[in-house]
Amino acid sequence: MTIPREGRVATLWNLIFHDDRVSCVVYHGVKGMELRLESAAGVILTEPFEMQPRAFARMKALRESLKRRGWHEESPKSQTPNPKSQ
C-alpha cells in the first residue's frame, strides 16, 4: 500500500456562522506541510506548518477567537459506515 505524499492530511476543525463555513486544514505539498484556512470562496490563509505544539496552539487560539465572534463548531459527520445500510 502506498501513501500519497501530496494533498489533504487532516482537518483540524470546521466552524460555521449562518451559512458560511471555514475549515482549518493541513496539507502536504511539494514544499512540505502547510496549514490553510479555507472557505467556500477559497483559501483565506496559508502558512507553513510543522507538527509542533506552538502551531496547534496558534490554530486553537484562532478557533477560539472566531467562536467568541459567534462562529460555532460544525457537528461532525460519522466516519463509520452504517452497518444497516450495507
**Which among 82, 27, 67 is positioned nearest to 36, based on CA atoms?**
27
Q: Is the dihedral of CA 73, 77, 79, 82 positive or negative?
A: positive
pLDDT in tens, 40-75: 999 999 999 998 999 999 999 999 999 999 999 976
CB 47 within 8 A of CB 28: no
pLDDT in tens, 12-24: 999 999 999 999 9
Amino acid at 63: R
Q: In what order do the strands lie in the sheet with 32-39?
A: 42-48, 32-39, 20-29, 7-17, 72-73
Prediction pTM value: 0.76
